[in-house]
Amino acid sequence: MSGAFFSHIKYKPDSQEQRIKEEAIAKWVARTAHPPRTVEDEEFINMMEKIDKRLTVPKKTKITNLVDQIACYFNVQDSKAEHILLNLKQMVHPHTADSIVTLVEECTKEWGIPKERIIMIITDNGSNMVSAFCVEEEDTSSDENDSKDSDEEEEADERYGTLERTRTPCVVHTLQLVVNMVKKEQAIKRLLDKVQHLVRQFRKSSVATERLLEQCGLILIKDCETRWSSSFLMLSRLREVKDHVTSVADTMGWDCLLPSEWQEVAILKDLLLPFAEHTKVLESDTCCFSLVVPAILDLRSHLSDFSLAHARSYRDVATLAQKMSANMDLRFSCFLDVSASNFSPLAAAACFVDASVSAETLIGNDNDGIQNLLSKAEEYITRSVPYQCNPVKNMK
pLDDT band with cut points at 50, 70 and 90 for residue 394? very low
Which residues, 6+ apart, have CB-to-CB distance to 191 below 8 Å? 261, 264, 265, 268
What does the mean pLDDT of the chain come to?
Answer: 81
Per-domain residue ranges for the chain?
2-70, 97-169, 176-331
Q: What is the mean pLDDT of residues 75-104?
A: 79
Give residue 1's pLDDT: 46
Q: How many CB atoms lie within 10 A of CB 34?
A: 21
% of residues, the chain, pLDDT over 90: 37
Q: Which position has the higher pLDDT, 159 or 127?
A: 127
Give residue 80's pLDDT: 62
pLDDT band with cut points at 50, 70 and 90 for residue 356? low
**Among 209, 187, 188, CA closest to 198:** 209
Taking only the tens place, the pLDDT of each residue in 300-348 is 999 999 999 998 889 999 999 999 999 999 999 989 999 988 888 888 8
Say whether pLDDT at 223 is over 80: yes
Taking only the tens place, the pLDDT of each residue in 201-221 is 999 999 999 999 999 999 999
Give residue 130's pLDDT: 82
Q: How many CB atoms lie within 10 A of CB 253?
A: 6
pLDDT band with cut points at 50, 70 and 90 for residue 138? very low
168 phi, psi to nearest 5 deg = -120, 130
CB-count exposure of residue 173 (10 Å: 0-12, 13-18, 19+): middle
Q: What is the mean pLDDT of residues 337-361?
A: 77
Q: What is the mean pLDDT of residues 360-373?
A: 72
- Integer-rounded Cα radius of gyration of the chain: 25
Say whether pLDDT at 393 is over 80: no
Phi-psi category of residue 174: left, alpha or beta, with phi > 0 → left and psi -120 to 50 → alpha: alpha
Give residue 210's pLDDT: 95
Say whether pLDDT at 164 is over 50: no
